[in-house]
Amino acid sequence: MRGVKWSVLVGLWLFTSLLAGCGGQSAEPAIVTTPLQIDMIIKQKDSEYWNTVKLGAEVAAKEFNVKLNFRGPDRETDIEGQIKLMEASIQAGPDAIILAAGDYMALAKITDQAIGIPVITMDAEVASARPVAFIGANNYASGQLAAERLSTLTGPEAEIGIVNFVKGARNADQRLEGLLDYLARYPGISIMETAYCGADQELAYRQAAAMLEKHPGLDAIVALSGEGGLGVGRAVREAGLVPKVKIVTFDSPPAVMEMLQEGTVQATVIQNPFSNGYLAVKQAVEYIQGLEVPDRTDTGTKLIDLNNMMWPENQKQLFPFVR
């Protein structure tokens, strides 16, 4: 299997997953004759992760007769742009808004203004009492997962760099908190530097290259996003430090999985973006129809390495579908 091109595997498994998601679900919400209007406002409108979220949301929209407006800024760091999208959505008055907040505090005020419009948060929370539900990963636990594997790779004495994504995003902060809390049990592990790449692969590459030059004794870098992992992997590879400098990252874009196969990346913590999108739309419909929805839905994470990436149960999460 290692000789098979990873992009081909992605296509085959994702196609199978989509079929499973479309045909294998029993829909609790009633199918309405007039389409419901639901706005989904995400952090960045074009990336591997968010495109998979969109696929899941579109499957649910088709299943439950929803007109889905999928919107997001060009960059995850464009918090003001996301606030403006929320303002426009509230003005339009859809049946529900699904929000993946780019900044926990900055999106709170505008979310508070969504009076009479149900708000579901997905992927990252917001500091507002308005949302009726959250769908996404347990990001603190995800950070702990990454730290546990990192400490195994480096041992109890190590110098480590961190490349996070957007400072102020709730999931970014929680992943970092979980990582640092776990590593605190090892007094010999030193965090040499923490950078924020804004989910920008090129910036992550430059930051990682600078870390490697500034800290020649660096043993590992943990990237807390997929885009960050791609930039870090490229920097370590170009510096000729594979496999001396270990890399633990997040998410499973095809390029990260190829780096895992070739040994540049040692492990990645994967989420379930397809299920995030699908369940956010489904629970929005349920809430609109007066059905009970859970306050929190944990869509799960798992640590993947070269040893377990081809296990059938892990393929289901690498190429996510709704169970």
Euclidean distance between CA atoms 78 and 102, whole angstroms: 8
* 221 and 240 housed in the same domain: yes
- For 123-149, the DSSP string reads SS--S-S--SEEEE--HHHHHHHHHHH
How far apart (Å, rounded) are the C-alpha atoms in residues 212 and 239?
8
187 and 107 in one domain?
A: no
The answer on 159 and 76 residing in a single domain is: no
The CATH number of residue 230's host domain is 3.40.50.2300
Q: How confident is the model at residue 320, as a pLDDT? A: 52
**So what's the pLDDT on residue 25?**
41
- Contact between residue 59 and residue 115 where contact means Cβ atoms under 8 Å apart: no
At 22 the pLDDT is 41
* Domain encompassing residue 233: 139-270
d(C-alpha 276, C-alpha 21), whole Å = 12
Q: Which pLDDT value is given to residue 317?
A: 67
Is 242 within 8 Å of 294 (Cβ atoms)? no
pLDDT, position 183: 98
Exposed e or buried b for every residue in 103-140, given b needs 16+ CB within 10 A? bbebbeebbeebeebbbbbbbbbbebebbebbbbbbbb
Same domain, 115 and 163: no
**Each residue of 30-49: pLDDT tens digit?**
787 899 999 999 999 888 89
Assess if residue 309 is contained within a domain.
no
pTM > 0.85: yes
The phi and psi torsions of 95 (rounded to 5 degrees) equal -70, -25
CB count in 10 Å sphere of residue 315: 16
Kindly state whether residues 251 and 284 are assigned to the same domain. Answer: no
Residues of the chain with pLDDT under 70: 1-28, 316-317, 319-323
Tokens of 64: 């439950």
146 and 265 assigned to the same domain:
yes
DSSP state of 184: T
Assess whether 25 and 65 both reside in one domain.
yes
- 148 shares a domain with 133: no
How many structural domains are present in the chain?
A: 2
Say if residue 131 is in the same domain as residue 154: no
Question: What pLDDT, on the 0 to 100 scale, is given for residue 319?
Answer: 64
